[in-house]
Every structure is written in C-alpha cells, then in structure tokens.
Amino acid sequence: MTTATEPPLLFTPLRLRELTVRNRMWVSPMCQYSVAERDGVPTDWHLVHLGGRAAGGFGLVMTEGTAVTPDGRISPQDAGLWNDAQAEAWARVVAFVHGQGAAAGIQLAHAGRKASTYAMALERDGTIPAAAGGWTPVGPSPVAYPGLDVPHELTHDGIAAVVAAFGAAAARADRAGFDLLELHGAHGYLIHQFLSPLSNFRTDGFGGSFENRTRFLREVVAAVRASWPEGKPLSVRFSGSEWAGGGWTLEETGELARRLGPLGVDLVDVSSGGVVAPQERVTVGPGYQVGFAREVRKLSGLPTAAVGMITEPAQAEEILVEGSADVVLFGRVALREPAWPLRAAAELGVPRDAAPYPTQYLKGAWPRSGPVRERRNADR
C-alpha cells in the first residue's frame, strides 16, 4: 500500500496555520478523572497518559476536556486551566510530548448543566450535592439534563464571564506551550447546550433562531482568537447529530462551521450525541460517525477530523483516501494500544525509518532489517 514516494495518507504531515503535525493519527480528548479533588491540576498520570501516546507515534495528543472555570468541571476530579498553577503543570506535560516529536492539543470546555457529577470510575449517577463537595450547575435555561439537578439559568453577565474565562484559559494554554486549541461544542456540554433547541429555551438574544443559538459560540471563538496566537490553529468539536428529533442538525453544523472559518476556526472535529442521551437512538458500528465528518467537510469547506469506532489501519487510511476527513482521531483504541501508529506502520508497509518510532523503541521495529546480531548484542 506504499511506495518510496507515496506513503499512506495516515503518515503524511498536516499543516494548519504555522503548525505542521507529523501525521494524521491523533489522540482524541478523553476524560481521565485523575486530578486531586477540586484543584484541577494535572498530575503524573496525565504526563504518562499523553506522553506515552506521543512516544507511541501519534501526531498530536489532545488533553481531556479541560475546564475554564471551577463550576465548569464535569466532576471534581477533572483537570482545569483557570489558574496559573494548572498552566505550569500542563507545561511539563507539553514539554515531554514535544520531546517525542508530537504536537500537543488542549480541549477547553465548560460542562454547563452536566457539571458537578460523579466521576465515571465511581459508577454513580446524579448531581453531587453541595454537602458532598458538589455545586449548582449553570446552563442556558433552567431545564435539567435527565437525571441531574436543574441548573441556574445564566444571566447576560454570567454569559460574559464564561466567554472571558475561555479567553483567559486560551492565553494560559499558549503560555503552557500547547500547539492547537479545541473548543468542546459537543456531547451536551455548555456550548452544545446553547446550540441545541432541546436544551436552549431562551427568548433573548442567545436563544430561538439559529443566529441567536450560535451567538454564544461565536463570542467564545472571538474571545479565544483574541488570546490565542495567530499562527496557532483553532478547532471546534461538534455533535453532528443528536440522534433525536427536533435537535441540532448536521446541516446546521455545516453552516455554522462555514461561518466560523472567517472567524479563525481551522478544523472541525465531528462527533455526535450527548444533549439528551436517554432519548437517543444511536446506530453504532465501525466508523459510524465518519459520514458526519464527510458531510461537514463538504458543507463548510473546512478540514475535518473523524472519530468513532475507527480501529484498523486500513479502515483509517480509507477514510482519508475517500476524502471523508483530513485527520483521524482515536479514542478507546488508543487507550488499549498506546503505540497504535506503530502497528499501523507495520500493517501498511511503512519502512521502519519512516515510521514514528522513538529511538528507544527501534529494537521493536518491524520488519527488522540489517544483519542478524548475536542475542547478547541485540538485547543490550
């Protein structure tokens, strides 16, 4: 599947603004629930988690959804970027990732009405009460996500404060050395809550029409772009489908992405679902969300990233070859196989000197080349 002059598309660099990423296999944002409770400071776990996948050959590794305010966390165990101590801890992670030849991305997020919940590892549902360390969530409207507490409706001043928090977090992300910034506008979190008619029932300038429901995200993009360097790319993650009638649509995703391009957005990361999960009817299977990325790419004219049960090298390569996306994001498979790109290199016939092996791992490169050495030398 490869020649000396035509490597697989998965292994070709991608340039966005002044950033060149070594390949198109990126690690998707995934919550780790691994900070000390309530301080939001990333730990050695984040260093090993993200650093290990950078060493494993991924072109870019993305942080979990990183909260821009304390009340914007999904759980008390989530990482944040609302203060300088958090930025300093992230800088250590970024430096190691860069040392492995990979780019570092950060996803900035606010959970909105889905905040103050128990970490997934605790296997408990519901909103954490204040007496147990929780807080009252906020949202565009005082309507609860099923099974959670009713949020406070954000006032105009409250909206302005959240927008400013995104901008301040972007400035810290730059100081920490991140290369790419993504805004989490999917999976039923705050930005998505404003976009969707299933969670936004406002009658002011932030609700009702498409123009009004998209206003919050457009203001966030403007605030972030004012703090984020011109040469660094900005991405937005959308839910291309809510898998529920009457909600945010794929066509609206494409139209909003098209409008965001001139505002400074460079890549659209297309996932699905999350705003009314118990009502959703999701058809799941290999590559089940790729069509969303393909359609948004066509409608918006922007590069897209595809995600969702993409597990095999040939499958991922075909997504790029057919023009469905420009990047493939890997989630669960990257948890199982931190060096998935090295397997992909072997299966797609990429020579070892063109595969993203760290020097320390060259003994494990496949196929082996050169003269057979005595065992005692090979094992040194």
Domain ranges of the chain: 9-378
pLDDT confidence band for 213 (50 / 70 / 90):
very high
Tell whether the model's pLDDT for residue 305 goes beyond 90.
yes
pLDDT confidence band for 368 (50 / 70 / 90):
low
pLDDT confidence band for 322 (50 / 70 / 90):
very high
CA atoms within 13 A on the CB side of 12: 15
Share of the chain above pLDDT 70, in %: 93
Mean pLDDT of 202-218: 98
- Measured distance CA(153)–CA(137) in Å, rounded: 9
Could you please report the per-residue DSSP string of 101-169?
T-EEEEEEE--GGG-SB--GGG---SBPPGGGT----EESSS-PPTTSPPPEEPPHHHHHHHHHHHHHH
3.30.870.10, 3.40.50.1370, 3.20.20.70, 3.40.950.10: CATH of 9-378: 3.20.20.70
pLDDT confidence band for 143 (50 / 70 / 90):
very high
Note the pLDDT tens digit of each residue in 30-62: 999 999 877 999 999 999 999 999 999 999 999
Mean pLDDT of 15-39: 95
Among 22-26, 120-124, 186-190, the least confident range = 120-124
Note the pLDDT tens digit of each residue in 325-349: 999 999 999 999 999 999 999 999 9
- Measured distance CA(291)–CA(297) in Å, rounded: 10
**Helix, strand, coil share (%) of the chain residues, nearest 5:** 40, 15, 45
The pLDDT value recorded for residue 366 is 73
The per-residue pLDDT of the chain, averaged, comes to 93
Q: Which helix (H) or strand (E) holds 234?
A: strand 234-239
Tell whether the model's pLDDT for residue 374 goes beyond 70.
no
Residue 191 DSSP SS3: helix
Which residues are identified as catalytic?
189
pLDDT confidence band for 282 (50 / 70 / 90):
confident
User: Residue 17 has which token pair?
Assistant: 């603004």
pLDDT confidence band for 375 (50 / 70 / 90):
very low
Note the pLDDT tens digit of each residue in 258-272: 999 999 999 999 999
pLDDT confidence band for 123 (50 / 70 / 90):
low
CA atoms within 13 A on the CB side of 56: 24
Q: Where are the alpha helices (DSSP H) in the chain?
A: 44-55, 84-99, 156-176, 190-195, 210-213, 215-227, 250-260, 290-300, 313-321, 332-336, 340-347, 375-378
Mean pLDDT of 76-104: 98
Global pTM value: 0.94
| Amino acid letter for position 184 | H
